[in-house]
């Protein structure tokens, strides 16, 4: 999901969120390894490279469970 | 009646990221960074309310919850005269209804089908269009009304996909899709995201391969729904209440 969201952005938008998207991917990987995460929860990655920027990447799980690893069976 | 409240925790990690979770959500707590520090606790009666308080605390403006498509069964519009039209988004529309509702011609409808742009579902004898396809057809009629807009098939597909992809999100109903080259995006009516458009234009400013670029701006979903509404009212007029029952049924 973060990949398709990232691809929908223009180059400057994507650049401004590059670090935040990487952090989001790391968070999702960690959640998968932990077996998923239950709602509700949010994780926000602000753009720290630029002072005063209001750019951020938000992960928000509103209902159910997210990032549950695929069954290997 | 007293609404039960819950405690929500706001955590800040050294990398600047925030975690926000109910105190009872252990799966989320397990994902906290080791260096995360608890900033504050917020009491609220719902997740939305808690998020709004978090946004206010961090100066992020208003929290806009994501629309829930599962609960979104109808699209309705009320005009300044108080006339209302409601569409069941799960409804299916036969070809005769499509002609009446969108004022599209046989030729255009067949052309869109042959080009695989808007293809109806078929049963043994009948062809049916979904509500999202009805929006696409109405959008096509409005776009085609501008004779100066010559749009190639592959681009038209992308443009019409904007309507079927976004009608469930009310926040996108006033956005205007536009195309430049083969890129299709949308611009807000208050031009708050105009930098996207400027950036797309800037990327093409070398004019090496092409001596001109056209930016087409297409009708918003609100324009499309309004056009459908006008057609419904003009066709069904007095018997509209019966018609609405049919649409919502």
Q: Is the pLDDT of residue A7 over 80?
A: no
pLDDT 10s digits, B122-146: 766 778 899 999 999 999 999 987 6
- Chain center to CA of A3: 9
pLDDT-based confidence at residue B149 (cuts at 50, 70, 90)? low
pTM of the predicted model as reported, rounded to 2 decimal places: 0.55
Q: What is the mean pLDDT of residues B21-44?
A: 96
Interface test with A, best of B9, B28, B198 (most A CBs within 10 A): B28
Determine the distance in angstroms separating the CA of A49 from the nearest CA of chain B, rounded to an integer: 11
Flag whether pLDDT at B207 surpasses 80. no
- The per-residue pLDDT for B7 is 96
Is B47–A62 a contact, with Cβ atoms under 8 angstroms apart? yes
For the record, the structure tokens of B240 come out as: 């509209």
By CB atoms closer than 10 A (0-12, 13-18, 19+), residue A67 is buried
pLDDT band at A1 (very low <50, low <70, confident <90, very high): very low
State percent of chain A over pLDDT 90: 37
Confidence at residue B43, expressed as pLDDT on a 0 to 100 scale: 95
Q: Which of residues 13-52 of A touch B (CB under 8 A)?
A: 13, 23, 27, 30-31, 34-38, 40-46, 48
The answer to whether A62 and A23 are in contact (CB under 8 A) is: no
Angle (deg, nearest 10), helices B131-145 and B153-166:
130
User: First and final CA of chain A: distance in angstroms?
Assistant: 24
pLDDT exceeds 80 at position B108 = yes
Of A11, A31, A41, the CB nearest to B20: A41
Q: Over pLDDT 90: what percentage of chain B?
A: 42
Residue B172 φ/ψ, nearest 5 degrees: -95, 0
**B186-208 average pLDDT score:** 79
Residue B87 is predicted with a pLDDT of 85
Stretch B192-210: mean pLDDT: 76
Q: How many CB pairs under 8 A join A and B?
A: 63
Distance, in Å, from the CA atom of B35 to the CA atom of B13, rounded to the nearest integer, reads 6
Residue B209 confidence (pLDDT) above 90: no
Closest CA of chain A from B47, distance in Å: 7
Assess whether pLDDT exceeds 60 at residue B75.
yes
pLDDT digits (tens, 9 = 90+) for B37-58: 999 999 999 999 999 999 999 9
3-state class (DSSP) for residue B86: strand
pLDDT-derived band at B70 (thresholds 50, 70, 90) equals: very low
* B28 pLDDT more than 60: yes
pLDDT tens-digit map of A56-68 = 889 999 888 899 8
Distance between CA A31 and CA A26 in Å, rounded? 9
């Amino acid at each position: 999901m973060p990949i398709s969201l990232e691809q929908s952005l223009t180059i400057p938008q994507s650049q401004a969120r590059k670090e935040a998207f990487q952090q989001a991917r790391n968070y999702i990987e960690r959640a998968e390894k932990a077996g998923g995460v239950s709602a509700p929860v949010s994780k926000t990655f602000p753009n720290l490279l630029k002072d005063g920027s209001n750019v951020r990447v938000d992960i928000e799980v509103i209902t159910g469970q997210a990032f549950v690893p695929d069954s290997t069976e | 009646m007293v609404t039960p409240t819950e405690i929500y925790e706001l955590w800040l990690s050294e990398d600047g990221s925030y975690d926000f979770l109910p105190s009872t959500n252990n799966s989320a707590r397990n994902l906290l960074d080791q260096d995360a520090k608890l900033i504050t606790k917020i009491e609220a009666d719902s997740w939305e309310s808690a998020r709004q308080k978090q946004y206010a605390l961090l100066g992020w403006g208003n929290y806009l919850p994501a629309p829930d498509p599962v609960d979104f069964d109808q699209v309705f519009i009320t005009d300044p005269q108080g006339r209302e039209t409601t569409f069941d988004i799960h409804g299916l529309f036969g070809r005769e209804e499509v002609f009446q509702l969108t004022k599209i011609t046989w030729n255009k409808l067949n052309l869109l089908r042959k080009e695989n742009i808007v293809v109806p579902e078929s049963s043994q004898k009948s062809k049916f269009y979904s509500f999202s396809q009805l929006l696409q057809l109405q959008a096509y009629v409005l776009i085609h009304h501008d004779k100066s807009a010559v749009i190639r098939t592959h681009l038209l597909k992308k443009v019409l996909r904007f309507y079927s992809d976004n009608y469930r999100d009310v926040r996108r109903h006033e956005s205007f899709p536009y195309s430049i080259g083969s890129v299709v995006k949308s611009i807000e009516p208050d031009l708050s995201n105009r930098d996207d458009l400027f950036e797309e234009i800037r990327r093409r400013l070398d004019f090496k391969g092409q001596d001109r670029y056209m930016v087409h701006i297409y009708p918003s979903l609100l324009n499309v729904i309004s056009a459908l509404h006008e057609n419904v009212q003009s066709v069904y007029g007095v018997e509209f209440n019966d018609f609405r029952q049919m649409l919502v049924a």
